[in-house]
Chain A
Amino acid sequence: MREERPEDPTPEDPVVITPCPNGPLLVRGDVMIAPEPGAEPQKPPRRVVALCRCNMSSIAPFCDGSHKLANFRTRPPRYNIGSPREDADESD
């Protein structure tokens, strides 16, 4: 049986940022990146980018895997981003 299709997503799908434990921030979605404050924003060459968090990358602001050499350790998220939204209780 086919399920009813959900509403088409809005054209402005939100950008999703995922902090990877001991690694970079993964950024999915239609983003522009300004290399530094005041610089012209540019479109990254891929759909998902990894932003450096350890400050060791040779291609900053992107990740180049150097966090592993630096034995970089992140703290677990302390701010509860994922608290349930008021409208999340939609069982039907």
Chain B
Amino acid sequence: MTTTPVRTAAPVARGPVSTALLSVLTGPEDTPEAAYRELASAVENAVETTQDVLADEDLQLSLFLLYLLHYGPAEFVTGNREWDPELLRIRAVLEARFESELRERVPMPDPMPQDGTELVDTMFAITGGAEKPTLATWLARHPSEEILREFLIHRSIYTLREADPHSWGIARLRGRAKAALVEIQSDEYGGGRPDRVHATIFAQSMRGFGLDDTLDHYLDLVPAPTLASMNVMSLFGLHRRLRGAIAGHLAAFEMTSSIPNKYYGRAFRKLGYGEDVTWYYDEHVEADAVHEQIAARDLAGALAQEEPELLQDVLFGAAACLYVDGLMGDHMLECWSNERSSLREVEPAAAL
């Protein structure tokens, strides 16, 4: 198996914050004070004036780049930036705005479950929409080369790193919830077989479709909702305080996966693609039917039982997953059903 190649070019800025951030990240290793000051004032201004953080191209790209420092690789970044105190401070300002908007907008179930057992029932209830997955069934009915290409490009931002954001949570959980998360992640990472790592299987699907499987190769093309979907996982995964939310996020993700993946596989098969492309989807129909049970009961349910003060956040994480991924799906569907591209137009200079 080949390892995934690495993106070397810096992405294109989308506004004052990402412009200032990229000039720090790609500038001299010894960052001039003026560059930090410019970034700080752009961030302060942006969090005050943005109307919708989740749809804000500039802020979502900036958060994505700040999180990228923790995942890597980010070859365009000069110096050792992962724990740069000024960048962490900036990230905290953006995250506070991001989280407060999520807390405000994500619909929570009413009445709230009172314990782990009730939580499992609530999780199945709120993820029940997966029974009629709009985007997936639409794709299976109207597959075209262009639309499936765009679909893979949106998904590539997360899926080439599939499971990584939730792995941050492993060290922060204990007992039954930790064992459940490890059991799921082990399967995500191929159970000891490198060729079965889900991100690697997805990379093969991309190549089979004629796309480039370099990490973040298509970053300039994906709009804010796609970045927000990844950023919400990084936000939850990188804060111990939010460990309930990262557990709930994974549970909701797994619980809404099997049935849509069946339709996605069908869409690719309709256009004549073979197993090299559809394996990823077929694998997820089977794997996520397992993960769904473990994630709902042994991860989310057990965590809420063992640490009752986290119950609210487990549900918040689950509801946020459904809400933010819903925005991403709505965007694609709205564009495609109006025969528009769901991707951003990039300057020829940044052509791929």
Binding site for B on A (CB under 8 A): 20, 22-24, 26, 45-50, 58-59, 62-66, 68-69
Contacts and interface: CB of A to CB of B under 8 A. Distances in A.
A50 B289 contact: yes
Nearest to B292: A65
Secondary structure class of chain B's binding surface, majority of residues: helix
B101 interface: no
B221 interface: no
Contacts of B128: 68
B285 A64 contact: yes
A46 B259 contact: no
Contact of B287 (A24, A46, A58, A66): A46
A50 B289 CA distance: 7
Given A26-B293, A65-B258, A69-B131, A48 B286 contact: no
A62 B285 CA distance: 10
B294 A48 contact: yes
Given A20-B293, A63-B289, A64-B286, A48 B130 contact: no
A20 B291 CA distance: 12
B297 A47 contact: no
Contacts of A47: 183, 186-187, 191
A63 B293 CA distance: 11
B268 to A, nearest CB: 16
B27 to A, nearest CB: 46
Given A69-B131, A69-B259, A46 B285 contact: no
B262 interface: yes
A45 B290 CA distance: 12
Given A20-B297, A62-B289, A63-B290, A46 B191 contact: yes
